[in-house]
Chains A and B, each alone.
Chain A
Amino acid sequence: MGVGVQVNQLNAWFGATHAVHEIQMDITANHATAIIGPSGCGKSTFVRCLNRMHETIPNARVEGTVKIGDTHVYGNGTSAVEIRRRVGMVFQKPNPFPTMSVYDNVAAGLKLNGYRSHRDLDEIVERSLRQAALWDEVKDLLKKKSGASLSGGQQQRLCIARALAVEPEVMLMDEPASALDPISTSKIEDLIFELKQNYTIVIVTHNMQQAARVAEFTAFFLSGKLIEFDKTEKIFTNPGDKRTEDYITGRFG
């Protein structure tokens, strides 16, 4: 089951550049929240602060608090490794492990966490691939096809399966369909509908129609600040802030 995410006065820097300013957000459990905004507005950076990926960049800094359920993501005793297992991430460009088979790709996170028995692995791999709506397409070639030999849309679903296999509570998706064709995109969007029931989804997208289709809540970012955060319906039909309205109607970005 998914948990909620509370973001409190979050700030992030790349060296001296202040990329994300004073973000205050409560992300509802088991719902999809879309983050929209023009290029360079800090959406990806913000999302990467939620699973502590931002700090892997040299000279990057984060201040503020993020809570996943009851856990302080940046708390003193919290390990980044554990957070990243609980908060899964799917990247813009699919990045399956090319030297591993489909099976091994999905199982990679499990093996790291100590799962050895074939039966356990088989079970979880199948479950994850089913959740990612990829099972039927690969079930016969699980161990024979390499992760990189699938089509773009399949690769992305494989990455989703890989992320799901370690049983996260939150799924972060950074423009997951932007590198894919329309049919694969719609498959991914269908997937998000399914996943919502068990996970909390945060999806970064530059495609407003996608946000409207998929997410119950939408946050509009501009220049590293959170401008407006509300039910998707409200954002797109009756935005409160003029800047939101300008963006939505295409006046910029």
Chain B
Amino acid sequence: MLKQMNGPLLKPKPQPDSVAPSPEEPSAPVPRRKIEHKSSRFADAAFRYLMLACALSVLAIVVLIVRELILSSSLARHTFGLKFFVTQVWDPVSGDFGALPFIYGTLMSSLLALILAVPLSIGVATFTTELCPLRLRGLLSYLVELLATIPSVIYGLWGMYVLVPILRQYVQPFLAKYFGWTGLFGGYQFGYSMLAAGIILAIMIIPIVTSITREVMSAVPKAQREAVLAIGATRWEMIRVGVLRNARTGIMGAIILGLGRALGETIAVTMLIGNTPQISKSLFAPGYTLASVIANEFSEATGDLYPSALVEIGLALFLITLLVNIVAQLMVWSITRGSAQRATA
């Protein structure tokens, strides 16, 4: 968030003479503006209620979201009950719907993204806060932030026509050859796969994890760093003990926020994951996420049960991201102690 310096203080206007009449002169009656006081009170109240209405509208929106999700999914919920979340079948033709492949897909792709993104983000944050020369610092953080401005559909486009061919031609054969024994890299190498989705998600969440990690690392006081150096530590040891250790709760919060972002990401993933409702051990296999199935099939969902099942998936996605974001908020709040402080003086 941008910080703005405070402007010059308003200079109070000089007092008009009539307010303090001198005792020698007969004092002119001071006009009392009772009527204007009343209207200001009304306007003040109206203004306050108007602002309150805006604030309430935020609550109303969230309530509406929950309401719509619950209502529109009721048919599917009553038809399938809780079985919905453990059924692997997704067959619109026969009307048999189960969300398990999508839950797996969402979790797996997000997990893969975290595994790739977190070490990189911490590395970048460490480099920018502790290791790189001062003049590069601003430039580097700007460049990483730039990644965050790229819309999802552009990530998807680039992924489809640049990343996937690279995966197909170089990366997948390499992984299959040397790491195939892990069982993670088997099967056909379509390119459109869990792996592709995981990689693009990792790129997309790196900016947010990096920027929060950088913030919490910078917030560690210099005295802590000096304390570690003074007992004879190398630079890395100083970073490890004096900075990362002190910042760990914040870094956890950053990771969870990144997770929340990955869970809800739709378009880029849809374009790269292959859109096949299946659960497979191999990262080369195509998959499907909660968000992707909605994006792909909602417009063409016919009948009543089909759209309802999709909305139920939307409800599930909403609840999962809600939970994760609440946990992340709590972690970040526990460090910054709630709302911003009002400026004094």
Tell me, yes or no, whether A and B come into direct contact in the complex with CB atoms closer than 8 A. yes
Interface-side segment among B173-181, B226-234, B259-267, B321-329:
B226-234
Within 8 Å by CB of B231, from A58, A98, A166, lies A166
For the complex, is A113 an interface residue (Cβ under 8 Å from B)? yes
Residues of B within 8 A of A58 (CB): 134
Report Cα–Cα, A82/B230, bound state, in Å: 10
For the complex, is B91 an interface residue (Cβ under 8 Å from A)? no
What's the minimum C-beta distance from A54 to chain B, rounded to whole angstroms?
Answer: 11
Within 8 A of A (CB), among B206-231: 221, 223-224, 226-231
Q: Which residue of B lies closest to A79 (CB)?
A: B234
Q: Mark A84-97, 1 if CB is under 8 A from B, else 0.
A: 11101101010111
Q: Mark B259-278, 1 if CB is under 8 A from A, else 0.
A: 00000000000000000000
For the complex, is B120 an interface residue (Cβ under 8 Å from A)? no
Residues of A within 8 A of B246 (CB): 97-99
Asked whether B223 lies within 8 Å of A93 as measured between CB atoms, the reply is: yes
A58-B134, A95-B223 are known; give 6 further A-B pairs, CB within 8 A: A84-B233, A88-B230, A97-B227, A108-B231, A113-B232, A162-B227
Knowing A95-B224, A98-B246, A99-B246, the reply to whether A112 touches B237 (Cβ < 8 A) is: yes
Knowing A93-B223, A97-B241, the reply to whether A56 touches B229 (Cβ < 8 A) is: yes
Asked whether A163 lies within 8 Å of B230 as measured between CB atoms, the reply is: yes
Q: Mark B232-261, 1 if CB is under 8 A from A, else 0.
A: 111001000110011010000000000000
Asked whether B226 lies within 8 Å of A81 as measured between CB atoms, the reply is: no
What's the minimum C-beta distance from A167 to chain B, rounded to whole angstroms?
Answer: 10
Knowing A91-B223, A95-B224, the reply to whether A166 touches B241 (Cβ < 8 A) is: no
For the complex, is A20 an interface residue (Cβ under 8 Å from B)? no
For the complex, is A109 an interface residue (Cβ under 8 Å from B)? yes
Report Cα–Cα, A46/B246, bound state, in Å: 29
What's the minimum C-beta distance from A168 to chain B, rounded to whole angstroms?
Answer: 9
Within 8 Å by CB of B233, from A88, A99, A112, lies A112
Q: Mark A63-93, 1 if CB is under 8 A from B, else 0.
A: 0000000000000000001111110110101
For the complex, is A159 an interface residue (Cβ under 8 Å from B)? yes
Chain B positions near chain A (C-beta within 8 angstroms): 134, 221, 223-224, 226-234, 237, 241-242, 245-246, 248
Within 8 Å by CB of A97, from B134, B224, B230, lies B224
Report Cα–Cα, A83/B228, bound state, in Å: 13
Residues of A within 8 A of B230 (CB): 51, 53, 84, 88-89, 91, 163
Asked whether B223 lies within 8 Å of A109 as measured between CB atoms, the reply is: no
Interface centre among B223, B230, B233 (most CB of A within 10 A): B230
Knowing A98-B246, A99-B245, the reply to whether A82 touches B228 (Cβ < 8 A) is: no
Report Cα–Cα, A252/B231, bound state, in Å: 36
Residues of A within 8 A of B237 (CB): 112
Residues of B within 8 A of A113 (CB): 232
Residues of A within 8 A of B233 (CB): 81, 84, 109, 112
Knowing A91-B223, A91-B226, A95-B226, the reply to whether A112 touches B231 (Cβ < 8 A) is: yes
What's the minimum C-beta distance from A227 to chain B, rounded to whole angstroms?
Answer: 28
Asked whether A112 lies within 8 Å of B224 as measured between CB atoms, the reply is: no
Asked whether B224 lies within 8 Å of A163 as measured between CB atoms, the reply is: no
Within 8 A of B (CB), among A184-240: none
Residues of B within 8 A of A159 (CB): 227
Report Cα–Cα, A112/B230, bound state, in Å: 12
Residues of A within 8 A of B221 (CB): 95
Asked whether B231 lies within 8 Å of A88 as measured between CB atoms, the reply is: yes
Residues of B within 8 A of A91 (CB): 223, 226-227, 230
Report Cα–Cα, A113/B232, bound state, in Å: 9
Report Cα–Cα, A84/B245, bound state, in Å: 21
5 A-B residue pairs with Cβ-Cβ distance under 8 Å, sorted by A, are A85-B231, A95-B221, A108-B228, A109-B233, A165-B231
Asked whether B231 lies within 8 Å of A95 as measured between CB atoms, the reply is: no
Asked whether B232 lies within 8 Å of A166 as measured between CB atoms, the reply is: yes
CB-CB nearest 4 A-B residue pairs: A85-B232, A109-B231, A89-B230, A95-B223
Residues of B within 8 A of A53 (CB): 226, 229-230
